[in-house]
Chains A and B, each alone.
Chain A
Amino acid sequence: DQQVKQNSPSLSVQEGRISILNCDYTNSMFDYFLWYKKYPAEGPTFLISISSIKDKNEDGRFTVFLNKSAKHLSLHIVPSQPGDSAVYFCAASGRGGTASKLTFGTGTRLQVTL
Protein backbone atom coordinates (compact mmCIF):
# COMPACT_ATOMS: atom_id res chain seq x y z
CA ASP A 1 0.00 0.00 0.00
CA GLN A 2 1.73 3.12 -1.27
CA GLN A 3 0.92 5.87 1.21
CA VAL A 4 2.97 8.50 -0.63
CA LYS A 5 2.61 8.59 -4.39
CA GLN A 6 4.49 10.41 -7.10
CA ASN A 7 2.56 9.51 -10.20
CA SER A 8 4.93 11.10 -12.72
CA PRO A 9 8.12 9.06 -13.01
CA SER A 10 9.76 11.71 -15.17
CA LEU A 11 9.47 15.35 -16.18
CA SER A 12 11.34 17.39 -18.77
CA VAL A 13 11.47 21.18 -18.52
CA GLN A 14 13.32 23.83 -20.45
CA GLU A 15 15.92 25.90 -18.64
CA GLY A 16 14.43 29.05 -17.16
CA ARG A 17 10.89 27.69 -17.05
CA ILE A 18 8.98 26.45 -14.02
CA SER A 19 9.22 22.82 -12.86
CA ILE A 20 6.25 21.47 -10.94
CA LEU A 21 6.61 18.14 -9.17
CA ASN A 22 3.56 16.57 -7.58
CA CYS A 23 2.98 14.26 -4.66
CA ASP A 24 -0.18 12.72 -3.19
CA TYR A 25 -0.63 10.98 0.13
CA THR A 26 -3.33 8.84 1.65
CA ASN A 27 -2.54 8.76 5.37
CA SER A 28 -4.36 11.57 7.19
CA MET A 29 -1.95 11.15 10.14
CA PHE A 30 0.89 12.66 8.11
CA ASP A 31 1.59 16.18 9.31
CA TYR A 32 5.08 16.99 8.03
CA PHE A 33 6.30 16.76 4.47
CA LEU A 34 9.74 16.96 2.93
CA TRP A 35 11.33 17.05 -0.50
CA TYR A 36 14.69 15.46 -1.19
CA LYS A 37 16.87 15.72 -4.26
CA LYS A 38 19.03 12.79 -5.33
CA TYR A 39 21.81 12.45 -7.88
CA PRO A 40 22.79 8.98 -9.18
CA ALA A 41 24.93 6.91 -6.80
CA GLU A 42 24.61 9.54 -4.06
CA GLY A 43 22.45 9.90 -0.98
CA PRO A 44 19.37 12.14 -1.03
CA THR A 45 19.85 15.76 -0.01
CA PHE A 46 17.20 17.58 2.00
CA LEU A 47 15.66 20.40 -0.03
CA ILE A 48 12.65 21.92 1.69
CA SER A 49 9.87 20.94 4.09
CA ILE A 50 6.44 22.04 5.20
CA SER A 51 4.33 21.48 8.29
CA SER A 52 0.62 20.80 8.00
CA ILE A 53 -0.15 24.06 9.79
CA LYS A 54 1.08 25.90 6.69
CA ASP A 55 0.03 25.81 3.06
CA LYS A 56 3.18 27.27 1.56
CA ASN A 57 6.89 27.40 2.30
CA GLU A 58 9.44 29.18 0.17
CA ASP A 59 13.22 28.97 0.03
CA GLY A 60 14.89 30.77 -2.84
CA ARG A 61 13.91 29.15 -6.12
CA PHE A 62 12.02 26.37 -4.33
CA THR A 63 8.44 26.60 -3.07
CA VAL A 64 6.36 23.80 -1.61
CA PHE A 65 2.57 24.02 -1.56
CA LEU A 66 0.36 21.85 0.62
CA ASN A 67 -3.34 21.22 0.04
CA LYS A 68 -4.48 19.22 3.05
CA SER A 69 -8.06 18.73 1.91
CA ALA A 70 -6.81 17.15 -1.32
CA LYS A 71 -3.88 15.39 0.41
CA HIS A 72 -1.62 16.85 -2.23
CA LEU A 73 1.64 18.72 -2.23
CA SER A 74 3.76 20.15 -4.97
CA LEU A 75 7.29 21.47 -5.39
CA HIS A 76 7.81 24.44 -7.69
CA ILE A 77 11.27 25.30 -8.99
CA VAL A 78 11.56 28.70 -10.62
CA PRO A 79 13.58 29.27 -12.71
CA SER A 80 14.74 25.75 -13.50
CA GLN A 81 18.46 25.26 -14.03
CA PRO A 82 20.42 22.36 -15.60
CA GLY A 83 21.89 21.55 -12.18
CA ASP A 84 18.36 20.82 -10.96
CA SER A 85 18.33 17.67 -13.08
CA ALA A 86 17.99 14.87 -10.53
CA VAL A 87 15.43 12.56 -8.96
CA TYR A 88 13.13 14.27 -6.48
CA PHE A 89 11.54 12.33 -3.63
CA CYS A 90 8.57 13.42 -1.61
CA ALA A 91 8.47 12.12 1.99
CA ALA A 92 6.03 12.36 4.89
CA SER A 93 6.01 11.76 8.61
CA GLY A 94 3.21 11.54 11.15
CA ARG A 95 2.48 12.09 14.79
CA GLY A 96 3.21 10.09 17.92
CA GLY A 97 5.07 6.82 17.54
CA THR A 98 5.48 7.22 13.83
CA ALA A 99 6.91 10.71 14.14
CA SER A 100 10.46 9.52 13.59
CA LYS A 101 9.68 7.53 10.44
CA LEU A 102 9.66 8.93 6.94
CA THR A 103 7.57 7.37 4.19
CA PHE A 104 8.95 8.08 0.73
CA GLY A 105 7.35 8.28 -2.68
CA THR A 106 8.89 6.53 -5.68
CA GLY A 107 10.50 9.67 -7.05
CA THR A 108 10.23 11.88 -10.14
CA ARG A 109 13.20 12.26 -12.45
CA LEU A 110 13.51 15.90 -13.53
CA GLN A 111 15.52 16.76 -16.60
CA VAL A 112 16.18 20.41 -17.30
CA THR A 113 17.11 20.95 -20.92
CA LEU A 114 19.04 23.83 -22.45
Chain B
Amino acid sequence: DGGITQSPKYLFRKEGQNVTLSCEQNLNHDAMYWYRQDPGQGLRLIYYSQIVNDFQKGDIAEGYSVSREKKESFPLTVTSAQKNPTAFYLCASSPRQSVAKNIQYFGAGTRLSVL
Protein backbone atom coordinates (compact mmCIF):
# COMPACT_ATOMS: atom_id res chain seq x y z
CA ASP B 1 0.00 0.00 0.00
CA GLY B 2 1.29 3.46 -0.86
CA GLY B 3 1.38 5.93 1.95
CA ILE B 4 3.23 7.80 4.65
CA THR B 5 4.36 5.96 7.76
CA GLN B 6 5.22 7.75 10.96
CA SER B 7 6.78 6.00 13.92
CA PRO B 8 6.47 5.66 16.77
CA LYS B 9 2.82 6.52 17.40
CA TYR B 10 3.64 7.62 20.95
CA LEU B 11 6.97 8.88 22.26
CA PHE B 12 8.15 10.09 25.63
CA ARG B 13 11.09 12.39 26.13
CA LYS B 14 13.09 12.96 29.29
CA GLU B 15 14.52 16.34 30.17
CA GLY B 16 17.67 17.12 28.18
CA GLN B 17 17.12 14.25 25.77
CA ASN B 18 17.07 14.38 21.98
CA VAL B 19 14.46 12.22 20.29
CA THR B 20 13.96 11.39 16.63
CA LEU B 21 10.62 10.93 14.90
CA SER B 22 10.59 8.80 11.79
CA CYS B 23 8.72 9.56 8.56
CA GLU B 24 8.86 7.29 5.51
CA GLN B 25 6.87 7.57 2.28
CA ASN B 26 6.60 5.22 -0.69
CA LEU B 27 4.58 7.60 -2.86
CA ASN B 28 7.67 8.73 -4.80
CA HIS B 29 6.91 12.29 -3.70
CA ASP B 30 9.65 14.89 -3.99
CA ALA B 31 8.62 17.18 -1.15
CA MET B 32 8.23 16.33 2.53
CA TYR B 33 7.10 18.40 5.50
CA TRP B 34 6.96 18.37 9.28
CA TYR B 35 4.16 20.09 11.19
CA ARG B 36 3.33 20.48 14.83
CA GLN B 37 -0.24 20.64 16.17
CA ASP B 38 -1.08 21.96 19.62
CA PRO B 39 -4.56 21.81 21.18
CA GLY B 40 -6.92 24.36 19.64
CA GLN B 41 -4.36 25.42 17.09
CA GLY B 42 -3.77 24.78 13.45
CA LEU B 43 -0.81 23.00 11.96
CA ARG B 44 2.43 24.96 12.12
CA LEU B 45 5.28 24.20 9.73
CA ILE B 46 8.58 23.16 11.33
CA TYR B 47 10.76 22.18 8.35
CA TYR B 48 10.24 21.20 4.76
CA SER B 49 12.29 19.65 1.99
CA GLN B 50 11.59 19.93 -1.72
CA ILE B 51 14.41 17.68 -2.85
CA VAL B 52 16.95 15.23 -1.45
CA ASN B 53 19.83 16.82 0.48
CA ASP B 54 18.02 20.14 0.76
CA PHE B 55 15.62 21.50 3.37
CA GLN B 56 14.30 24.83 4.63
CA LYS B 57 13.14 26.14 7.97
CA GLY B 58 9.45 26.63 8.45
CA ASP B 59 7.75 28.99 10.87
CA ILE B 60 8.84 27.28 14.11
CA ALA B 61 12.18 25.56 13.39
CA GLU B 62 13.96 26.48 16.63
CA GLY B 63 14.81 23.42 18.71
CA TYR B 64 14.34 21.01 15.80
CA SER B 65 16.61 19.50 13.16
CA VAL B 66 16.01 17.38 10.06
CA SER B 67 17.87 15.50 7.37
CA ARG B 68 16.89 14.36 3.87
CA GLU B 69 19.46 11.81 2.75
CA LYS B 70 16.92 9.69 0.89
CA LYS B 71 13.86 10.67 -1.10
CA GLU B 72 11.59 8.43 0.94
CA SER B 73 12.79 9.47 4.41
CA PHE B 74 12.60 12.74 6.37
CA PRO B 75 13.36 12.21 10.08
CA LEU B 76 12.77 14.98 12.61
CA THR B 77 14.91 15.36 15.72
CA VAL B 78 13.45 17.22 18.67
CA THR B 79 16.46 18.53 20.53
CA SER B 80 16.85 19.46 24.17
CA ALA B 81 16.74 23.10 23.04
CA GLN B 82 13.01 22.72 22.31
CA LYS B 83 11.56 23.74 25.66
CA ASN B 84 7.96 22.86 24.95
CA PRO B 85 8.04 19.72 22.83
CA THR B 86 4.74 18.19 23.94
CA ALA B 87 2.56 18.16 20.82
CA PHE B 88 1.18 16.05 18.00
CA TYR B 89 3.70 15.87 15.13
CA LEU B 90 2.57 15.32 11.57
CA CYS B 91 4.64 14.45 8.53
CA ALA B 92 3.37 15.11 5.02
CA SER B 93 4.55 14.72 1.45
CA SER B 94 3.56 16.09 -1.93
CA PRO B 95 4.55 15.46 -5.55
CA ARG B 96 6.63 17.93 -7.49
CA GLN B 97 4.76 21.15 -8.23
CA SER B 98 2.49 20.71 -11.19
CA VAL B 99 -0.78 21.95 -12.56
CA ALA B 100 -2.36 20.03 -9.71
CA LYS B 101 -0.66 22.38 -7.25
CA ASN B 102 0.32 21.53 -3.74
CA ILE B 103 -1.85 18.83 -2.24
CA GLN B 104 -0.07 17.40 0.77
CA TYR B 105 -0.73 13.92 2.09
CA PHE B 106 -0.30 13.24 5.78
CA GLY B 107 0.86 10.40 7.97
CA ALA B 108 -1.03 9.31 11.10
CA GLY B 109 1.13 11.39 13.43
CA THR B 110 3.35 10.92 16.49
CA ARG B 111 2.29 12.17 19.90
CA LEU B 112 5.29 13.36 21.88
CA SER B 113 5.10 13.90 25.62
CA VAL B 114 7.68 15.01 28.17
CA LEU B 115 8.28 12.84 31.24
Could you tell me which A residues sit within 8 Å of B by CB distance?
Answer: 4, 6, 9, 32, 34, 36, 41-46, 49, 51, 89, 91, 93, 99-102, 104-107
Do residues B42 and A4 form an inter-chain contact, with CB atoms below 8 A? yes
Secondary structure at the B interface, as helix, strand, loop or mixed, is: strand
Contact flags B7-26 to A (C-beta < 8 A → 1, else 0): 00000000000000000000
Q: Known: A44-B43, A100-B48, A106-B42. Contact between A32 and B102, CB under 8 A?
A: yes
13 further A-B contacts with Cβ under 8 Å, apart from A6-B42, A43-B107, A100-B102, are A4-B42, A42-B108, A43-B6, A43-B90, A43-B109, A45-B106, A49-B101, A49-B103, A51-B101, A93-B101, A99-B97, A102-B104, A107-B42
**Closest beta carbon of chain A to B68's beta carbon, Å:** 14
Complex alpha-carbon distance, A42 and B113, angstroms: 17
Complex alpha-carbon distance, A42 and B106, angstroms: 9
When distances are taken between beta carbons in the complex, the residues of chain A under 8 Å from B106 are 36, 43-45
Number of interface residues of B (CB under 8 A): 29
**Closest beta carbon of chain B to A22's beta carbon, Å:** 15
Do residues A100 and B40 form an inter-chain contact, with CB atoms below 8 A? no
Do residues B43 and A89 form an inter-chain contact, with CB atoms below 8 A? yes
Q: Known: A41-B109, A43-B108. Contact between A34 and B40, CB under 8 A?
A: no
